[in-house]
Amino acid sequence: VLASLAFMLFVSMSAPVQAAEVKTSYFTLELPGDWIQPQATQEVNGMVSVVFANKKDGTAVSINVMPSSMSAAEISKETTSNMKKGGINVGDPVEKDGMSEVSFNQAGGVGMMWFGSNGKECAVTSIIGKTLDSGKELIKLVKPVDAKLFPKF
């Protein structure tokens, strides 16, 4: 998860994948005009990793879903521990609306991660930017196969 977050932060926007609709085995998303998908969706052995970038404000959104029986609380505690070891300023996980959420600061940006689980899969949805606003607006457009995996705003 930490590697996915680091990738999200340093992803190059020089050759974005032009996609109006992003469809995975876990969700579908119709990308608004201000958003691009800098790289193609990665889907390997049941794990899906997708990164989006806002062309206007530089906000990045990462969605990672993988097979796992871990609870949202378990994966958020493990992830925050690894982030702290990596020198990232991260808060403690907070349980809210069936999800575990964590705030963090890195590279001059504010960030938030939401962890969801349904007992078979877990998802980590992340936003980093000057604010969380445009990222939350994008996440509202996610049409999940299982709503337990994704934050609701």
Query: pTM score, two decimals?
Result: 0.86
Does position 8 have pLDDT exceeding 60, yes or no? no
Exposed, middle or buried, 4 (CB in 10 Å: 0-12/13-18/19+)? buried
Quick check: 31 and 22 in contact, CB under 8 A? yes
Q: What is the pLDDT of residues 19-71, one digit of tens each?
A: 489 999 999 999 999 999 999 999 999 999 999 999 999 999 999 999 999 99
User: 3-class SS at 7?
Assistant: helix
